[in-house]
Structure 1
Amino acid sequence: MSRATFVVLCVVSLSGCALLSPVKTDSKQYTLNDIPLDLPSERTHSATLLVLVPEAGPLYATTQMAYTTQAYQIAYFSQNEWAETPSQMIEPLIVETLRHTHYFSDVLSSPDFDRHTFTLRSEILEIKQDFTSEPAMLQLTMRFNLSREATNQVIATKELSVREPMLERNPYAGVVAANEAVAKLLRELVIFVVDNAN
């Protein structure tokens, strides 16, 4: 084999390896961790509440961060994502918020299925950055069902929705707005739960 042929084969071989190597991307991960402050402290009742992990459709049951630039269209950022799915991040925030009210003797979360008086089920209907408006908005919509465990009867259902303005038109501004939206929605959730858990 001639030396020139050998060199060509080596170059082709090495370039093939480079093509098969994984592409490194600097993906940024973000969290939802804000809860409402200065919640009213309620008189403690003997009732207990079980909070289930929020359900979510395929669009939002992912760590991908959704946005829209035109009606009827959803896309995902390529280098910005949630550290966990929105459901996984929002469930502990619901639990912590409801514990801070002191209304229930205990607020449980899955997989802790001890005896409880009420169950709170929820569903994430929307959590996306909306760039079709000026300013851009973070849209968060959830549906909640409160049921009495003894009878498995739904006591109340409520859909809560928050549109929070984004200070800039970029993914990070959307994350900041998402945290503010979650805190506002949780404050409304407290009113819904306390008003109906009696």
Structure 2
Amino acid sequence: MTRAAAIAALCIASLSGCTLFTPVDIDTKKYAVSTIPDDLPAERTHPATLLVLAPEAAPAYATSRMAYTTRKYQIAYFSQNEWVDTPAQMMQPLIMETLRRTHYFSAVLSPPHSGRHTFVLHTEIVELDQDFTSDPAVLRLTARFDLRQEATNRLITAKELSVQVPLAERTPYAGVVAANEAMGRLLRELSRLVIENAH
């Protein structure tokens, strides 16, 4: 047996010693959007309840994968950086806690609540994307909201809110920081929208 053949046989016999057969350890970093704004409008409590439905999301953002753009009309995803949950699942408790902290409603509820409630809030995430086509790069967060009266299903108000935050550097983590700032700003706008229309 030649020396090369012997080395090959040794590698096959002891796979852990050959780099070729060692599993690649890819460390995926997971991040959360968890910001709730501090400067919320302080209201007196009204005898009204609000049901916050589970948000929906455009197909590109209905995943825990973290989206970015380097070319117009094209969305890609980071391979080693992702959200801890889908944006929609991260957003619902933030909406609920934000509206609870305004003290406007006697109760802020979520499904599967089956009792009576006064208003229903529906949310759709339209965009949550790190855009590297601009200089500086920016985080774009856009969501549509509609508020309805529960008893009649009457649409009270519907609005698309959008926030854009520059990235401090062109990295996924800078995008996470910007996403948290954007969420805080968007929730602040949402609280004002709901309070102004929930009469």
The question of a shared fold, defined as TM-score above 0.5 by the shorter chain, is answered with yes
Query: Is 2:15–2:22's contact at 8 Å kept on the other side of the alignment?
Result: no
Q: What residue number does 1:46 align with?
A: 47
Q: What residue number does 2:96 align with?
A: 95
Secondary structure of the residue aligned to 1:81 is strand
Report the more deviating stretch, 115-124 or 20-29.
20-29
Query: Is 1:56–1:124's contact at 8 Å kept on the other side of the alignment?
Result: yes
Query: For residues 140 and 177 of structure 1, what CA distance do their matches in structure 2 show?
Result: 10
Query: Is 1:95–1:108's contact at 8 Å kept on the other side of the alignment?
Result: yes
1:1-198 matches, within 5 Å, as 11-12=11-12, 15=15, 22-198=23-199
Structure 2-normalised TM-score? 0.90
Query: For residues 162 and 8 of structure 1, what CA distance do their matches in structure 2 show?
Result: 58
Instruction: Give the C-alpha shift of residue 13 in structure 1.
Output: 6.3
Q: Closer, same or farther in 2 for the Cα pair 1:21/1:57, shift >3 Å?
A: farther
Structure 2 gaps, min length 5 = none
The percentage of counterpart residues that share the same residue type is 60
Query: Is 1:118–1:146's contact at 8 Å kept on the other side of the alignment?
Result: yes
Structure 1 gaps, min length 5 = none
Q: How many residues align?
A: 197
Q: Write the deviation string for residues 73-94 of structure 1: whole angstroms up to 9, x where unpaired.
A: 1000011100111111111000
Q: Closer, same or farther in 2 for the Cα pair 1:144/1:9, shift >3 Å?
A: same
Q: Closer, same or farther in 2 for the Cα pair 1:23/1:46, shift >3 Å?
A: same
Report the more deviating stretch, 84-93 or 20-29.
20-29
RMSD of equivalent CA atoms = 2.2
